[in-house]
Each structure stands twice: as C-alpha cells, then as structure tokens.
Amino acid sequence: MKCEEAQEFITALVDNQVSDEERSLIESHLKDCQRCRFTHGQEQALKREISAAGARLHAPAALRSKILSDRRIFPAPERASESWTERIFPAWPIPRPALGLALAVVLILPILYFMRTPSEPISLAALEIQKKIIGGEVSVQKASHPDELRNWQIRAVNGEFAPVAYDLSSMNVQPVGGVVQEVNGRKMLVTVYAGNGLSVTCFTFIGTEEDAPKIASVFIDPEKKMKFYSFSKDGFNAVLHREGSIICILVSNMSGDELLAMVRAKVQPS
Amino acid sequence: MTRALTRDEFSREAIGYIDHLYRVAVHLVKETQEAEDLVQETYARAFGSYEQFAAGSNLKAWLTRILYNFFFDNYHQKKRWVSVENSSAENDVSDYWEKVPADNPGPESHILLKELSATISDALSRIPEEFRLPIVLVDMGDFSYLEAAEILSCPVGTIRSRLSRGRKLLYYQLSDYVTTKEKKREKI
C-alpha cells in the first residue's frame, strides 16, 4: 500500500470505521511507515481536540429558555388547580366560583389544617443539604462506578429502599458521588449527578406526597397519572414526585421549567 | 415492539440534544443568532412532525437531519454536495503533504496541538463546508460514517474521503496558527 492510498484508511482507523480486512492492511502499512504512523498519531490527537472543543460548546441558557417557552414545542403544562376544577364541576348549572369557594371553606381548609406539617418539611431540608454539599459542609463520597455507589447506599439503609436512578447520559450527566443523610429520624439517600455544566442531586427517602412543601406548585401529568411538586428556595430549584412509597426530590441549577420537563420525561409511573 | 412516544415524551427527550444541535448549527452558519434560530426552528419542525419519527430509532440523527435540511433550504445557496476536485481546497490538501515531516517530530508537536483547542472552532469555520460538516458530525457529534452519510444525503465513501481531507485542512489551518504564535513568541 502506498502512503497516499493509506490516508483514508488511517482516517477510518482513527474513527474505528474499518473492516477487519482493512484494519489488517493499514496496520501492516503503519508498522513499516514512520511518516504514516506520525500522521495517524496526529489525526488521533486532532480528533480528541475537536471532540473536546465540541464538548465545551453549550447552547446558551437563553436559547433553552426560549425553546422551553415556545408553545409550538412545549405546550403549557396543565396546572393541578385547573384540572381539579374541571373534574369536580363537569357541567353543573350552579355558578362554579361560588360553589367552589363554599366547598373550599367547608372541605379543603379543614383538611389542609389537619394535614399541615408541624415542622420544616423534609423536602426543604433536602435543599439545605444541597446548600451544604455545595458549601463543602457535607462531604460526598466519590463514585468510581454507579453500581458501587448504589450498593453502598442500599447497605447504608439496611436494604430498606434503593436510590431512584436516572439515565441522564443523553445530557452527558453522570452520577459522580453520594452520601446518606438523616432528617428527623428519616434516612435520605443523596446521589449527585454532574456533567455538561449541569448539576442534579437526587434525594430518595420513604414518604408520601405530604412531604412536599406548601410552597410547591403542583403539576399533574394526565398520561403518567402522576403529580409533580415544583418548588424553589435560596436559588435552588426542586421537583418532588412519588414512586410507590418512595419519594424522590431532584434539585438542580437548571431552571424550574427545565428541571420539571426533565423529571417528567425521565420518570416512569410506578 | 417499541411503543410510539407521546408528543410530550418526544419533546422532553428531544430537548436533551439541544447542546449537540447548537454545536452543529454554529458550524453551519456564521452568526450565533442565526444558529439559535436554526436550533429553535429545528425543534418546532421536529415537534410538528414527531409522528413521523419511528420510536426506537436514532432521535439525535433524526433531529440533526431536520436541522441540516432546514439550513440547506433556508440558508444555503449552493448545491447540496459540490464537487471539490478543482477547488482551492484541493490544492490546500496537496500543500499539506509538503508540510508533513518525514522524521519523528518529537513530543512538542502534540503539546502545541493541545494548546489549540480554543481555536478549533475558528479554524473549522475557515475550511470549506463540505469538509467541515463531516468533521462536526463525526468528531463532535459521535456519529458513525453511515449516520453522517444519511444526514448529509451522500455516500459513506464520501464521508470518509472528506473527513480525511478535512482533518488535513484543519491541521493545515492550525499549523498556520502555531507558526504565527511561535513568531510572536520569538519577537517577545
């Protein structure tokens, strides 16, 4: 094989796009040709640099927001209150606002009173933990492998429950570490995901949807038949949802809308 | 059989590729505002025809093809794949061969290449589009030759030959940068 003939095969070898026969031919040529070996090394290095330069290039946050608020792409999420209103009053002849108000006073307010959380909800404590992780007050155990981290967390709660796991690889976001925390006697598995300039922390614990804070906006996904509670505090955005008896809270530096969109996309009904 | 994605699932899944689409867009058009418009319009078009997307197939490639087709229809004045046999780019590749040293170049050459990563996007913008796009798709987008060929509607062999020439052109551009940088250092 002549050097000029070898060039395209060198490129394909760098990209791992050669057949076995082609690989054998080109590797044989490289063994004997110092100049082509240099070209091969240089092309490998160049490919790595191009790939690294690409990985550093992110869509501007303003573009994300623009797309997420483009109603041609993302129709407005259905608010829980509107959905319940329509379900409760399908076609009643009585004026709806007056009846709704009366029912709220008679039924909902007493229920809310008895269901109120006596102290700071665990969900807001999760945001405090997030703040401490970022501030270095809470140390996170680094993960050499996601399975290793997961098994360690399961052992830490005597196998009572497992951390909810998310595949965020399409966003180049991977689990990088974790920690186990205790809030008011309840154990909480904390998994930190990072990559691509994004940080997502997943808090898993046994609970109910009553663990959502009062400040949360509730979104109902009619197809998944799930509720998502979106809330923010001290600059952190969070989304809580329930999977059976497990509560998962995702906290991120993404915008509230973006985080809600991601959680809704990734979560499967239990 | 894979279940078809709902409109909502499709949109949420598709937004995960925004960085990738933006990378491709900024290497297709000159202005960042145009690149943003291109990405937004890609999502709008993808959403409008999401029912045509076959569940289980490659969503990233499907979105990239929409982006490229929209770019071609709206921003591009030339033929989809122009012949480069007589173009100046061909001569540039020939020049490259004179620059490849026959002897072992030593490690400093690789070190310099590492310093160049910040200038790669700039260098890419200076090589012809027909060489630039396969590099962006294969090296930045991690597409196989077959996927890149489907996106650009050209034969797989064309992707391979243009990648080979394109990388040499890019290296040639970066070599110029190294030479300039070294001359500046000498003056200092």
Q: How far apart are CA A171 and CA A111, in angstroms?
A: 41
To the nearest whole angstrom, how far is the Cα of B176 from the nearest Cα of chain A?
15
Nearest CA-CA partner of B18 in A256, A196, A199: A196
Q: How far apart are CA B15 and CA A170, in angstroms?
A: 10
Whole-number average pLDDT of chain A: 81
Q: Which residues 6+ apart lie within 8 Å of B73 measured at CB?
A: none
**Residue A35 contacts residue A42 (beta carbons within 8 Å):** no
Question: Under an 8 A CB cutoff, do B109 and A42 touch?
Answer: yes
Q: In the CATH hierarchy, which fold is given to the domain comprising B88-187?
A: Arc Repressor Mutant, subunit A (1.10.10)
Q: Measured between beta carbons, which residues in chain B are less than 8 angstroms from residue A41? A: 110
To the nearest whole angstrom, how far is the Cα of A130 from the nearest Cα of chain B?
24
Would the pLDDT of A166 be above 60?
yes
Query: What's the CATH number for B7-75?
Result: 1.10.1740.10
Question: Could you identify the residue written with the tokens 């050669």?
Answer: A18
CB atoms within 10 A of CB A188: 22
**A266, two tokens:** 């990734």
ipTM of the complex: 0.78
CATH class in words for A122-266: alpha beta
Q: How far apart are CA A40 and CA B35, in angstroms?
A: 33
Would the pLDDT of A141 be above 90?
no
Q: What is the pLDDT of residues A78-112, one digit of tens each?
A: 444 444 434 444 444 445 666 667 766 677 666 66
Query: Does A65 contact chain B (CB < 8 Å)?
Result: no
**Single-letter amino acid, residue B56:** G
Q: What is the pLDDT of residues B95-144, one digit of tens each?
A: 443 444 333 344 445 445 545 555 888 888 888 988 999 999 999 999 99
To the nearest whole angstrom, how far is the Cα of A197 from the nearest Cα of chain B?
11
**Residue A63 contacts residue B42 (beta carbons within 8 Å):** no
CA B143 to chain centre: 10
Q: How far apart are CA B22 and CA A62, in angstroms?
A: 12
Q: For residue A231, which phi and psi values (nearest 5 degrees)? A: -150, 165
Q: Which residues 6+ apart lie within 8 Å of A52 measured at CB?
A: B117
Q: How far apart are CA A89 and CA A99, in angstroms?
A: 9
Contacts with A, B 44-73, CB within 8 Å: 44, 47-48
**What is the per-residue pLDDT for B91?**
47
Asked whether the domain spanning B88-187 has the same topology as the one spanning B7-75, the reply is no
Closest Cβ opposite residue A11 in set B9, B26, B160: B160
Q: How far apart are CA A257 and CA B138, in angstroms?
A: 32
pLDDT in tens, chain B (188 residues): 556 667 777 777 788 889 899 999 999 887 889 999 999 999 999 888 877 887 778 889 999 999 999 898 887 654 444 444 444 444 444 444 344 433 334 444 544 554 555 588 888 888 898 899 999 999 999 999 999 999 999 999 999 999 999 999 988 888 766 555 545 555 55
Answer with the residue of higher pLDDT: A63 or A81: A63
**What is the per-residue pLDDT for A94?**
47
Query: Does B111 contact chain A (CB < 8 Å)?
Result: no
To the nearest whole angstrom, how far is the Cα of A163 from the nearest Cα of chain B?
22
Q: How far apart are CA B36 and CA A70, in angstroms?
A: 13
Answer with the residue of higher pLDDT: A161 or B80: A161
Would the pLDDT of A5 be above 70?
yes
**What is the per-residue pLDDT for A111?**
65
**What is the per-residue pLDDT for B111?**
44
Contacts with B, A 183-242, CB within 8 Å: 196, 221, 223
**What is the per-residue pLDDT for B97?**
39
pLDDT-based confidence at residue A76 (cuts at 50, 70, 90): low
**Residue B38 contacts residue B28 (beta carbons within 8 Å):** yes
Domain assignments of chain B as residue spans, ordered by start: 7-75, 88-187
Answer with the residue of higher pLDDT: A73 or A10: A10
Q: What is the pLDDT of residues A112-138, one digit of tens each?
A: 655 554 456 889 889 888 888 888 888
Distances (CA, A) of A264 to A219, A225, A227, A240: 10, 11, 10, 11
Nearest CA-CA partner of B164 in B150, B145, B143, B184: B145
**Single-letter amino acid, residue B98:** E
- H or E element, residue A92: none
